[in-house]
Amino acid sequence: MDSLLAALSTRQRIAQLVVPWLAGNYTAFDDSLFQVAARWVDSLEVGGLIISVGSPFDIAAKLNALQRRSRLPLLISADLEWGAGMRVIGATTFPQIMAVGATGNSRDAYTIGEAAATEGRAVGIHVNFAPDADVNNNPLNPIINVRSFGEDPRAVSRLVQEYVRGLHDHGMLATLKHFPGHGDTQSDSHIGLPVITAGYPRLDSLELVPFRGGISAGADVVMSAHIAFPSFTGSNDPATLSAAVLSGLLRDSLHFHGLVVTDALTMGAIVAKYGAGEATVRAFLAGSDLLLMPADPDSAINAMTAAVLGGRISHDRLDESVRRMLEIKRRLGLVTHRVVALDSIMTIVGSKRFQDAANDLAVRALTLVRDVGGGLHALRGKPSRFALIAYADENNGAAGQYMTELLRQGGDTVDYFRLWPMSGPLSYDSARTVIARTPATVFVANVRPISWRGNIALPDSLAQLVTATDVTRPTVLVSLGSPYLLSQAPATKCYLIAWSGGRASERAVALALLGRVPIAGHLPIRVPPDYPIGFGVTIPTAHP
C-alpha cells in the first residue's frame, strides 16, 4: 500500500478522494456526457463515482468501460436505502425502511441489506450509502421521515446493525448517515442549513445511539450531515465542516476508523455560504476523507491542491485519507478484479427470491392506526364498490393504478381518479363527482421526502376533501409514505399506513382491502397527538 501511495503525485492523491456524480443511463462512447466522465477518469484520475438511475446493463457496461480506463480501480457508490431498485431499474424495490420498524423484525433489515449488496455488486456498485441511522423524532422533518427505521434509538440501533450485517455478509460496504443525526430537523439541508439546538447529553442519549450500534457492527463509512449543532460545536458551521464533530466526536469519542464521506457538496447548506472550492477544503480539514459530488470536480481538486501546497493541509493528513481509500479498494478485491460479468446480471438482479421477500415485508408492515366504525372491516368483508382517489408527486405517475388493478381482479368495483400536486379546482370537482357515484371512498396518498422540496404534507385542498368525504360516507385514508398525515385530517375514522409507494406496498394494501392478509404492524414512531410507539390495530385475515 505504501509503495502504491508513493507512486502518486500530490494531485493524484487528492483526486483519489473526489467522487463525482454519474448518470446511470445509456450513453455511447462518443457521447459528450460519457466523454466528461471519461475525462474525470483519464485526466483528473478521480478515485470513485456515485452512480444514479439506469438499467442494470447500462450501469454495468458504463462502469466496466470506465473501470478499464482508470489507472487505479474506481470505488463505486450509490444510494440503495430501500434496495438496489432505488437506483437500478428492475432490481428489487423494498418498502422504505420505516416499514422494518413497523414489523420490528431485525431479519427484515438484514434482508434489505443482503438484496442491496447482492444486486448492487452484480452491476458494479461497491458502497451503499445506507443505512440511514437517523432517529426520526420530529414529525415535521421534511427529508428523513420514512427513510429512518423509527423514533426509538435502541430499536433503530438494532435494525441498523442488522442492515450493516446484511450488506457485509454479501460483499458491500455499509454507510451510516447522516452523522451526528438528521432526525430532529424541520428544514431540508438540500436548500438551507438546519440547526439542532440540543447539546451533547441529548445527542449522546438519542442521536448517537444508532451510530454507536452501526460502528460496533463494523460499518465502513460514515456520512456527515449538513446540519449545525451550535450547542455542541460553539458555532453555526454544519457538521460536515466541523472538526469538533468529525474529528473530535466521530473519530476520538466513537472510535470510528473507517472512511468519512461528506454528504453531497452541491447541497445548498454548504455551497451557498462557502462556494464549491472552499467548502471542499473545509470539509477535508474538518475530518472528511471522501469529497462527494463537488459542484465542479476540477475546482475541488484545484482548491485542495492549493491548500496542500500552501501548507493549509499537511501531507500527512492527506496521506491518512488516501491510505484509507486505497485500503478499502484492496479489501474489496478491486485491485485484481474491477469489472463485472454482464451475462450473470439476469440471474441475480430482480430475482424472485428477493421480490418475494419485498412482498412479504410489505404485508407484515401494514399498520392500522384507526378504524372507528369499522369502515375497513366492511370493505374486507365482501366484494365492494368504492372510489379510489390517488395522490402522489409527478415522479410517481402510476400511483394507485397497480393497486386498482389488483382490487378489480379480486372482485371489487373501483372507480379510479388521480390527483397531482398541481391539481386545481376543476380536478377536485371531478374527484367529488367520482366520490358521489360510489358508496365508499379510499384515499391513497404517497407523500414522501423529496430533496429540494422543503416540506412533506398533503395539499390543503386534499386534506379538506378527505375530511369532508369522511363525514358523508365510509372513508379510508391510506398512506403510502409519511405516517403523519392524520395530523392534517384528524377526524378521519380509518387510517392505514403502508410506508412506501412501491409495487410491493401497493400490492399489500390491495390484499388488505380484499381481506386476504392480516394487518399486524405497529408504529415505530409516535403519530401525534394520540398514538404512541408500538400502537397498532391488529386484524386477522378475512378471506383465504
Tell me if residue 263 is catalytic: yes
Burial of 93 (0-12, 13-18, 19+ CB in 10 A): buried
- CA–CA separation, 364 and 362 (whole Å): 6
C-alpha cell at position 172: 458491500
Mapped onto helix, strand or coil, the DSSP state of residue 389 is strand
Closest CA to 418 of 388, 456, 455: 388
Please, how many CA atoms are within 13 Å of residue 150, restricted to the half-sphere of its CB? 27
Helix (H) or strand (E) holding 401: helix 401-409
CA-to-CA separations, 510 to 94, 498, 518, in angstroms, rounded: 17, 11, 12
Per annotation, catalytic residue among 134, 237, 263, 371: 263
Q: Which amino acid is at 448?
A: R
- CA–CA separation, 258 and 325 (whole Å): 9
- CA–CA separation, 13 and 173 (whole Å): 22
- Identify any residues that bridge with 390 across adjacent strands, giving them in sequence order: 418, 444
Question: Which stretches of 393-493 are assigned E, i.e. beta strand?
Answer: 413-419, 441-446, 475-479
- CA–CA separation, 484 and 492 (whole Å): 13
CB–CB of 45/333 below 8 Å? Answer: no
Tell me if residue 337 is catalytic: no
Residue 256 φ then ψ, to 5° = -85, 130
C-alpha cell at position 423: 391539481
Mapped onto helix, strand or coil, the DSSP state of residue 437 is coil
Per annotation, catalytic residue among 190, 237, 412, 470: 190
- The residue with cell 470536480 is 297
Return the active site residues.
190, 263
